[in-house]
Amino acid sequence: MLAGSRIRRGVLCAAAASAVVLALTACTRAAPETTPHTGETQTTAPSQETPANGDWAIGESAIGPFEIGMRYADALTTPDAEVTELCEGVAQIDVPGSPDVTMWAKASEFDPASTLSEISISVSPDTTRAAEDGPMTEKGIGLGATVDELTSAYADARELDDTGVPGRSMYYVQADGGGIIFTTGEGADTIWQISVTTGEVPSYEPCA
């Protein structure tokens, strides 16, 4: 009897051990696969909140995010732009990356409830600048470009006979609903103001 009991106990112990091994094997197989950590942390590049001046292109009816026909009230709250009201119906705008460039947008008839009828950028006529220092047209013409460069880029550019402003020469490039006007000093060769406007000529002064 004693020998038989020992045999039965041995069989039971072996069976129990086999059950444990099978259970551990099942647990091991059920464990999810993992990818070893390499020590590298993925980072997200910070967004650029303020656009570079190259993003503020001069189009046939816009300079940067400001467009002819947009509501003046919307211009005052344009995202990613520093805008202050220079006088009633005229907004002054900081051009990113170009602190020496003056920019303004004017409401039609200076009426704050109306839409933009003129947008201009300018620098001092006495300042020598390279064209790439401010917004440019798609053909690479910006403040500091020469009249020869302008007429080479825009064969249809024509000099205005009557600018309405003494001492200034203006060159007009036709566009739908208006045009781009490039201003130089009379007899001078360097462009120091560029305007998109629905009028025949840009304003003599922003608030005048």
pLDDT single digits (tens) 40-98:
444 343 333 434 445 799 998 999 999 999 999 999 999 989 999 999 999 999 998 88
Chain mean pLDDT for the chain = 78
The parent domain of residue 85 ranges over: 53-197
Angstrom distance (rounded) from CA 167 to CA 13: 111
Q: What is the DSSP-derived secondary structure letter of residue 75?
A: H
Angstrom distance (rounded) from CA 64 to CA 35: 47
| Listed residue (62, 57, 53, 59) closest to 105, CA to CA | 62
Most confident by average pLDDT, 6-10, 28-32, 201-205: 201-205
Residue 69 in domain? yes
SS3 of 62, please?
strand
Residue 159 in domain? yes
Residue 152 in domain? yes
Residue 20 in domain? no
Half-sphere exposure of 146 (CA within 13 A, CB side): 4
- pLDDT bin (cut points 50, 70, 90) of residue 23 is very low
User: For the stretch 38-48, what's the b/e string if a residue is b when 16 or more beta carbons lie within 10 angstroms of its beta carbon?
Assistant: eeeeeeeeeee
Residue 34 in domain? no
191 contacts 184 by C-beta, under 8 angstroms: yes
Angstrom distance (rounded) from CA 61 to CA 96: 20
Domains in the chain: how many in total? 1
Angstrom distance (rounded) from CA 22 to CA 30: 12
124 contacts 192 by C-beta, under 8 angstroms: yes
Predicted pLDDT at 166: 84
Residue 7 in domain? no
- pLDDT bin (cut points 50, 70, 90) of residue 133 is low
Residue 202 in domain? no
